Amino acid sequence: MTKIAINQRAITFKQEDYLGNEIDLSNHKGKKILLSFFRGASCPFCNLRINQLIKSYSEFEKRNMVIIAFIAAPKEAILSYAGKQEAPFAIIPDPWLDIYKLYGIESSHSGMFKAMAKPIKMFHVMTSGFFNLKSVTDRPLIPADFLIDENQSIYRAYYGDDFGDHIPIEEILEWRM
């Protein structure tokens, strides 16, 4: 799969989020965008990260930044898991991985083992309240984050190494302040 490169034009999309709102990437021209791709709706690593984004959301707003998240699950699954957090940003279901493929999101069974080999990360997941056995059946997608600038070019493409690997929030918030 071809990965997205820095300075490449962001691949546009027009999708419905899990609440039925139309999300069109091109409508956010002039704003910085964090575009995040997650595994499944029940993934504890994903839900922990979504929770961290929710807690930092006011800081994103202050910087005129938009967060758009994709989850590789149907709308109903998002409503049962990640949607219960009531994120103030768009979460788009992509069970057929249409947009995942366009952005070069990869799958790897070793991503789970790499995450499990990090005791601090595992402690946070196990004590977060998001752990569940349903997530074991989620596809082994590796998360990715893209920072898209005001002109809709890729400023940074970050392909994770394990199930919980994302750009640190502090680093995103420091992006061209």
One pLDDT digit (tens) per residue for the chain, 177 residues:
689 999 999 999 999 999 999 999 999 999 999 999 999 888 888 999 999 999 999 999 999 999 999 999 999 999 988 877 899 999 999 999 999 999 999 887 665 656 565 555 655 655 666 556 566 667 788 999 999 999 999 999 999 988 889 999 999 999 975
Q: Considering the domain boundaries, does residue 66 fall inside one?
A: yes
pTM score of the predicted model? 0.89
- Boundaries of domain holding 161: 32-173
Q: Does residue 11 sit within a domain?
A: no
Q: How far apart are CA 163 and CA 100, in angstroms?
A: 15
Give phi and psi for 169, each to the nearest 5: -60, -40
Of 103, 29, 119, 117, residue with least CA distance to 70: 103
122 domain residue, yes or no: yes
- What is the sign, positive or negative, of the torsion defined by CA atoms of 118, 119, 125, 128? negative
- Report, in angstroms and rounded to the nearest whole number, the Rg of the chain calculated over CA atoms: 15
Residue 92 lies in a domain: yes
φ/ψ of 9, rounded to 5, equals: -65, 135
- The answer to whether 159 and 104 are in contact (CB under 8 A) is yes
Structure confidence at residue 140 (pLDDT):
80
pLDDT at 43: 87
Residue 128's pLDDT is 64
Predicted confidence at residue 176, as pLDDT, reads 74
Question: How far is residue 17's CA from residue 141's CA, in Å, rounded to a whole number?
Answer: 20
Residue 86 lies in a domain: yes
| Cβ-contact 61, 29 below 8 angstroms | no
CATH number for position 139:
3.40.30.10
Asked if residue 12 is part of any domain, the answer here is: no
160 to each of 74, 107, 164, how far by Cα in Å? 23, 11, 8
The answer as to whether 19 is a domain residue is no
The DSSP secondary structure of 39-82, one letter per residue, reads S-TT-HHHHHHHHHHHHTHHHHHHTTEEEEEEESS-HHHHHHTG
Number of structural domains found in the chain: 1
Query: In this structure, is residue 70 part of a structural domain?
Result: yes
SS3 category, 12: coil
